[in-house]
Amino acid sequence: MDSTQTDKSSAMASGGGWTIMFLCAGIAIIAACVLIPEADENQRLLWQSERLRLDLEHTQKEVATNEEFVKHIAEDPILQERLAQRQLKYVRTGTGVLDLGQKDELGSHSPFPLVSVAEAPQLEPAKTVGGKFAMLCRDPKSRLYMMGGALMLVALGLVLGASGNHD
């Protein structure tokens, strides 16, 4: 009787080992197939958030620059006249379009430095987890097959772990 109990305990121990191994492998594959695409999505959302933050800062700089330009137009009649002449393509008699030989004391009234804003900084593309396994987890078709195989591993672990004798 003692030998049959030893056989049963060794069978249960070996079956339990297979059960744990297959269950853990199956659950790990399922977890990876779910978590890797979600981590990529979180990374993409973080990148978009940073991009929007930089765009907002750039837009706020442009708004401040344009407000300053409007303030200069309201206060400076020479700037108003130059802008009107430029828009109407009008040149006063006795003046040249561009006189490079003389220093212009009114050069500070040019509107171009008032409205120039540096371009918004560019972000690097969002980085994702690398490797062949991660690529398999990202592809919907291979992810479906991997999750099916993982469920088979879980089922196999449960079947191998089951004991035929329940005495």
Which range (23-32, 106-115, 134-143) has the least confidence?
106-115
Whether 101 is covered by a domain: the verdict is yes
Question: Residue 29: what residue type?
Answer: I
Q: What is the pLDDT of residue 111?
A: 59
The pair of structure tokens assigned to 136 is 């398999």
Percent above pLDDT 90 for the chain:
35
Look at 41 and 103; give whichever has higher pLDDT. 41
| Contact status, residue 12 vs residue 97, Cβ threshold 8 Å | no
Please check whether residue 2 lies inside any domain of the structure: no
Q: Which of 113, 129, 111, 158 is nearest to 38 (CA)?
A: 129
Asked if residue 23 is part of any domain, the answer here is yes
User: CA–CA separation, 23 vs 32, rounded Å?
Assistant: 14
Whether residue 30 contacts residue 151, with contact meaning beta carbons closer than 8 Å, is answered with yes
37 and 144 in contact (C-beta within 8 Å)?
A: no
**pLDDT tens-digit map of 24-41:** 999 999 999 999 999 999
The answer to which of 29-33, 84-88, 134-138 has the lowest mean pLDDT is 84-88
The predicted pLDDT at position 11 comes to: 47
Q: Could you list the residue range(s) of the whole structural domain that residue 113 is in?
A: 11-118+142-160
Number of domains forming the structure of the chain: 1
Q: 152, 143, 137: which is closest to 40 by C-alpha?
A: 137
Kindly state whether residue 135 falls inside one of the protein's structural domains.
Answer: no
pLDDT in tens, 39-74: 999 999 999 999 999 999 999 988 988 888 888 888
Q: Per the domain annotation, does 166 fall within a domain?
A: no
Burial class (CB in 10 A: 0-12, 13-18, 19+), 58: middle
In a domain, 91, yes or no: yes
What's the chain's Rg over C-alpha atoms?
37
Report the alpha-carbon angle 155-157-162, nearest 5.
100
131: left (phi over 0), alpha (psi -120 to 50) or beta: left
Q: Which residue has the higher pLDDT, 153 or 71?
A: 153
Long-range CB contact pairs, 97-105, < 8 A, 24+: none
